[in-house]
Amino acid sequence: MGNKITGQTQLAGLIAHPARHSISPKIQNMAFTHNKMDACYLAFDVLPENLKDSIEGIRSLNLIGVNLSMPHKQAVIPLLDELSPEAQLIGAVNTIVNQKGKLIGYNTDGIGFIQSLTEEGIDIVGKKMVLLGTGGAATAIMCQAALDGIASIAIISRHGENYEKAKQKIATLLEATTCQIQLISAEHETEISKACQDADLLVNATNVGMGEPSVALPFIKREDLRTKLIVIDIIYYPKETYLLQCAREIGAQTVNGLGMLV
């Protein structure tokens, strides 16, 4: 960080769990320095049970704002004063801005995802996608992809609260867009394999593979991958998850989550 800390230095940060692997502080502090802002950005590793206190801390410590990552993007909503239209539609927040003690939630995940694909020369219009997960990031990707002209999305998820929320979100998108969307239970391996064989893109929006090296695959089998499938993992640490490694080894195009972050 080029700037020195002063009594006027403003504070921003990342609230996530885990958070220590994040490169957001490096990126954001470089941006502050480049723009000659007297501010610094830190990573806060916050357990779910401490989220409420952390959000109150934004007000009490007068942070200018924070980014949120897994697993807080949906749980934070009741703790905020206001949501932007896209955050309301998606039902998840990845950015909080503190406007004189009023905390406003935004979601830039979906737009960031589409932009990162565009930079890789990938056009989603008319394509078929398999989306792994129904959390906040997955929901943002589903909504933005549907709005931007993807032909179909097969969403894979375990049964639970997010699964039921996804049903409601799908119903809204089916009315608002021409995208065909189906929700497949993670237990239905045959349906998952068929969806992968029909797809142009496979997107992992779960946290499987994040942080420490892992040989786990999220909801799919290695045999579900194929050369012509574009495989995207929104995780950026490690740069190559086991999913991306498996895809690369069979000659498939792979994209990690770094472009979405930046």
Which pLDDT value is given to residue 3?
55
pLDDT, tens only, 224-242: 999 999 999 999 989 999 9
Q: Which amino acid is at 257?
A: G
Domain boundaries 110-261, corresponding CATH code: 3.40.50.720
The rounded Cα 101 to chain-centroid distance in angstroms is 26
Q: Which positions are annotated as active-site residues?
A: 73
The DSSP bridge partners found for residue 11 are 40
Ranges of the chain with pLDDT below 50: 1
Sequence ranges of the domains in the chain: 10-107, 110-261
Residues 6 or more apart whose CB falls under 8 angstroms from that of 108 comprise 94, 95
Question: Is the pTM value of this prediction over 0.75?
Answer: yes
Domains 10-107 and 110-261 share a fold: yes
CATH topology of domain 10-107: Rossmann fold (3.40.50)
Alpha-carbon distances, residue 148 vs 83, 84, 122 (angstroms): 22, 19, 13
Q: Hey, which bits of 107-255 come out as E strands?
A: 128-132, 152-157, 180-185, 201-204, 230-233, 254-255
Q: Is 53 in contact with 28 (CB distance < 8 Å)?
A: no
pLDDT value for 1: 45
Name the residue with tokens 């991306």.
Answer: 244
